[in-house]
């Protein structure tokens, strides 16, 4: 069996793989959410920057199911921490399978993760999400919501739009930003405009460009472009299916009442 060390924090379980993470990292959080924008962005950066997994996080907040892998093994639903050092900047990426459903577990998991991350004394936490518009967006803007004025100033320069997003950010992307203030960590949520009903690599690209500019990263978008095309096709198919659904249900009714 593989070796592992684990540290338990209340009902959270961390499995450490490596401890070579440097202090003062930039943390990028991409959990499942609207348009899967956050997930695509974080996964893409992990691949592009060749980030290495250094910790796994398990929680009773996740559904009691295990994923069967192609190699015959199982793995629990988890959040995974990766890190990469690019031009003397340390990055931590947090990705995962799912978000907890219950309010108190969302708060509990978020607090547990922030307490873990705060040990590395992060410079900044960036959460990625989608901003649902219910419309096809040709040129998605990136909307921002931060916990400190310094973040707003920094990202305004890069073209991020503040004060125009309406309503609430639901789930971890928002909670991380708000709760980071209690740990004294500047944090921002970057939201790519997206339809909301499909996986949107286009919105992901818009966010990736902001991050690349901010940290002077060279990102090869060629793989993402392929994803964008696939996503656009998927989108058109969904829209056509939606149209069909809105047409009168004649056939079904005939069938049902014959």
Beta strands 12-16 and 5-9 are antiparallel
Q: Is 94 in the site for a copy of itself (CB under 8 A)?
A: no
Q: Which two three-digit tokens encode residue 44?
A: 């893409």
CB of 191 to a copy of itself, least distance (A): 9
Q: Is 159 in the site for a copy of itself (CB under 8 A)?
A: no
Rounded to the nearest angstrom, the gap between the alpha carbon of residue 232 and the centroid of all alpha carbons in its chain is 20
Q: Is 75 in the site for a copy of itself (CB under 8 A)?
A: yes
Q: Which of 74, 63, 83, 106 is nearest to 16 (CA)?
A: 83
Comparison of 57 and 62: residue with beta carbon closer to a copy of itself: 62
Q: Is 162 in the site for a copy of itself (CB under 8 A)?
A: yes
Comparison of 51 and 177: residue with beta carbon closer to a copy of itself: 177
Q: Which of 7, 31, 29, 186 is nearest to 93 (CA)?
A: 29
| Contact by Cβ (8 Å): 106, 171 | yes
CA dist., res. 125 & res. 98, Å (int): 20
Comparison of 38 and 45: residue with beta carbon closer to a copy of itself: 38
Q: Which chain residues interact with a copy of itself by CB under 8 A?
A: 1-2, 4, 6, 11, 13, 60-76, 101, 103-108, 110, 144-150, 152, 162-163, 165-172, 174-175, 177-179, 181-182, 184, 186, 189, 248-250, 253, 255-258
């Amino acid at each position: 069996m593989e070796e592992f060390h684990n540290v338990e924090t209340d009902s959270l379980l961390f499995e450490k793989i490596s401890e070579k993470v440097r202090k003062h990292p930039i943390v990028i959080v991409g959990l499942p959410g609207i348009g899967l924008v956050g997930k695509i962005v974080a996964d893409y950066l992990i691949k592009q920057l060749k980030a290495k997994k250094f910790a796994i996080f398990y929680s009773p907040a996740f559904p009691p199911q295990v994923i069967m892998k192609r190699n015959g093994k199982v793995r629990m639903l988890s959040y995974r921490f990766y890190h990469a050092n690019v031009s003397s900047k340390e990055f931590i990426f947090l990705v995962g399978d799912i978000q907890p459903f219950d309010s108190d577990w969302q708060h509990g998991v978020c607090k547990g993760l922030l307490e873990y991350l705060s040990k590395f004394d992060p410079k900044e936490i960036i959460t990625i999400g989608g901003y649902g518009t219910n419309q096809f967006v040709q040129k998605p803007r990136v909307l921002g919501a931060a916990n400190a004025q310094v973040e707003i100033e920094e990202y305004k320069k890069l073209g991020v739009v503040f004060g125009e997003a309406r309503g609430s950010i639901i789930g971890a992307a928002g909670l991380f930003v708000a709760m980071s203030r209690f740990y004294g960590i500047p944090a921002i949520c970057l939201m790519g405009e997206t339809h909301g009903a499909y996986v949107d690599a286009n919105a992901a690209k818009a966010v990736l460009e902001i991050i690349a500019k901010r940290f002077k990263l060279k990102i090869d978008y060629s793989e993402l472009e392929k994803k964008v095309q696939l996503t656009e096709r998927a989108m058109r198919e969904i829209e056509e299916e939606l149209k069909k659904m809105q047409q009168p249900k004649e056939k079904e009714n005939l069938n049902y009442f014959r």
